[in-house]
Amino acid sequence: MEARIENQTGSQLAELRCDGYKISYFRLDFSQTKPSWQKVVKSFLEYGDKKQLLLLGFVGTHNNDSRQAELLELVNRYGDDAPAVVCCDIENKDIKCILQNIDCYISGCQVEDSEAIDLLSETDVRIVYAGDVNIGESKII
């Protein structure tokens, strides 16, 4: 069952990429003292285009209902013409499958980010630190 779930996630992302989508991944940092998620999402929505998708990952035990509501409100403000933003509950076992099928990894300050960067070190995936740049303006995604 686990392999099928991982393959399904990866194959869906691969299919989107074949359709011309550029996929960026950011692990939501709701629990951080200085979270970057708002900056990442706003920048993506303001500067991204319709052929871009922002995949926001979270692990179920770390989700925060009030932050999720705030995220939904932010995304809804931009309407149907905005690039796609997708949230999904990502188990750590799924991350390799996701990393194999993205164009850009947006790193925050979480331990999991440094682990992902290690996995991406030998790939062509762009790695961007969320706190350093205005992601959308710099055309990184």
* Burial (CB count <10 Å: 0-12, 13-18, 19+), residue 86: middle
Q: Express each pLDDT in 88-134 by its tens digit.
A: 877 766 788 889 999 999 998 888 888 899 999 989 999 998 877 66
Q: Express each pLDDT in 54-76 by its tens digit.
A: 998 886 655 567 888 888 899 99
Q: Give the length of the chain.
A: 141
Q: Hey, what amino acid is at 59?
A: V
Average pLDDT, the chain: 81
Short-list 1, 38, 17, 33, CA closest to 98? 17
Instruction: List all residues 6 or more positions away from 67 whose beta carbon is below 8 Å from its beta carbon.
Output: 28, 30, 37
Alpha helices for the chain (secondary structure H): 2-18, 37-47, 65-78, 95-99, 111-120
93 with 59: CB under 8 angstroms? no
CA–CA distance, 131 with 22 (Å, rounded to integer): 21
Calculate the CA 105 to chain-centre distance: 7
Reported pTM: 0.83
